[in-house]
Amino acid sequence: MFRKILIANRGEIAVRILRACRELGIQTVSVYSEVDRTSLHVLLADEAYLIGPAASRESYLRIDKLMDVAKKSGCDALHPGYGFLAENAALPRACTDAGITFIGPSAEAMEAMGSKTAGKQLARRANVPTVPGTSDPIENPEDAQALAQNMGYPVLLKAIAGGGGKGMRVVPSDAAFRSAWRDAASEALNAFGDPRVFLEKYLIGPRHIEIQILADAHGRCVSLGERECSVQRRHQKVVEEAPSPVVTPELRRKMGDAAVRLGRAGGYVNAGTVEFLVDADLNFYFLEVNTRLQVEHPVTEQVTGLDLVKLQIAIAAGHRLPFAWETITPRGHAMEVRLYAEDPDNSFFPSPGKIISFRAPTGPGIRIDDGVYEGWTVPMDYDPLLSKLIAWGNSREETIARLRRALDEYTITGIRTNVSLFRRILTEPEFLRGEIRTTWLDEMLARPYPPAAPPRPGTEEAALIAAALWHSAQSNASAPGGTEPQPAPSPWKMEGRRQQMDHLP
């Protein structure tokens, strides 16, 4: 087993990895930028090294600096977390060159599965359902148009170099194809420096359901079940849960088997996630592979009882997966919300600043993966994720009740947070029925909230009486002697009058 691990990340995921190492008796080395000097992942580490200024490209993205720290501190392994360099094949290569173990897949597996079209080609070879369309970039728009006519509209043009919803363009009809193709290609060139686009049948309002896979270096690959991630805002996951409200045991087996076939075909080792789109008839289609541990991994941990970070470390150290895991069956229901320092009343803009007070919820079935503490200042330089709040219960209903109770206990002052967004989501009937698609949250947020209250009976009359009273008050005031216009009565007085009116029959 490793003696000392470098955690090449920050925030809650760095703290999460740190905790797994500590439980395994492995020493921890954190890295930090100047603004992260007092961050939790620095305070909790055995050693911590400054690697540069706030800008990620000068600190957390600097592979040379990470390798210097790994050598200087005598680390024998490195965990990338998620984001930053976690899916950059240059990092495992640099680790191999530096003689330290990368806790994740090989650079080759990353490249074989990481890109959209490479992943789709691998999926087809592994007999994994993919969305009908092309898996190669469109060279000849006439051929692509003919394919679109055969598939039937609407179709979707996707930039090869795109991601997270960027570089997608729906083509509603054949008449719109050529102009859409030209626009998509020029947008892709401007946004990603790569004009290539491919074509897919457009699935209307799909679900996003992903499978967690775990593969050791000895050829074993298992599925740890699914995560429902359809509650997204602008392609960012907001609420994740396991198991999915719509996945049956039969569908879970089929999707799990497909994900494992894909992992094996790609020579995948360590933790990975195979993302699928699922349509209203519960047909599933491969979307892409994430060759890293994901933000939402805790919901899988809560229903399987496994520690995925410890398993990643064990796999990287060459250990075999115990064969018993094929008997894993999810127990209970887990749901995660991502708590951000952002202002829901100001288009969810980041709301950095000093945390004046902070009390995290606790109690039955509540887990907090936190990266903050009272008195710490949330920097403006990074994704403002504060903590993840995960609730577990014996049923989806109990889990939602626990999550709502925990959100009510979550108290933080000094910064704005998105807690109110979750309080709202957890009261929405469609969400409570589990009837969610990837477009649901954006549609919900487009609706006025709170919905304008319907006028109460008698409101009209009361308003007329109030106006009459006001005018009579004005005319009395400007009776003989009084020529000056009177100031409007205070709103409080008007409110008092209105409330007096309320009791009118």
Positions marked active-site: 292
Q: Kindly tell me which of 51 and 131 has the beta carbon lying closer to ligand MV4.
A: 131
Nearest distance from C-beta of residue 235 to ligand MV4, angstroms: 5
- Among residues 89 and 287, whose Cβ is nearest to ligand MV4? 287
Which of 70, 110, 209, 277 lies at the binding interface for ligand MV4 (CB under 6 A)?
Answer: 277
One residue of 348, 438, 441, 462 binding ligand MV4 per CB under 6 A: 438
Asked whether position 156 contacts ligand MV4 by CB under 6 A, the answer is yes
Question: Would you count residue 203 as binding ligand MV4 (CB under 6 A)?
Answer: yes
Q: Which long-range contacts (CB under 8 A, 24 or more apart) does 112-119 make?
A: 112/266, 112/267, 113/262, 113/266, 113/268, 113/272, 113/289, 113/291, 114/87, 114/89, 114/289, 114/291, 115/160, 116/158, 116/160, 116/162, 116/163, 116/198, 116/288, 117/160, 117/198, 119/286, 119/288, 119/289
Question: Which residue, 165 or 482, has its beta carbon nearer to ligand MV4?
Answer: 165
Q: Which one among 53, 165, 322, 364 touches ligand MV4, defined by CB under 6 A?
A: 165
Distance CA 194, CA 111 (A): 17
Binding segment for ligand MV4 among 12-20, 182-190, 197-205, 487-495 (CB under 6 A)?
197-205
What is the DSSP-derived secondary structure letter of residue 202? P
Which is closer to ligand MV4, CB of 108 or CB of 442? 442
Q: Single out the residue of 104, 105, 206, 263 in contact with ligand MV4 (rule: CB under 6 A).
A: 206
321-329: long-range pairs with CB below 8 Å, 24+: 321/214, 321/215, 321/216, 321/220, 321/222, 323/220, 325/214, 325/222, 325/224, 326/222, 328/222, 328/224, 328/225, 328/304
Look up residue 133 and give its DSSP letter. Answer: B
Residue choice 72, 235, 320, 471 for contact with ligand MV4 (CB under 6 A): 235
Report residue 164 as tokens. 């997270």
Using the contact rule CB under 6 A, the part of the chain among 31-39, 61-69, 194-202, 330-338 near ligand MV4 is 194-202
* Position 131 contacts ligand MV4 (CB under 6 A): yes
Q: Which stretch binds ligand MV4 (CB under 6 A): 140-148, 198-206, 248-256, 352-360?
A: 198-206
Nearer to ligand MV4, 232 or 418 (CB): 232
Task: Enumerate residues 6+ apart whose C-beta is below 8 A from 132.
Answer: 151, 200, 201
462: left (phi over 0), alpha (psi -120 to 50) or beta: alpha
Q: Which is nearer to ligand MV4, 208 or 388 (by Cβ)?
A: 208
Binding site for ligand MV4 (CB under 6 A): 131, 156, 164-165, 200-203, 206, 208, 232, 235, 277, 287, 438-439
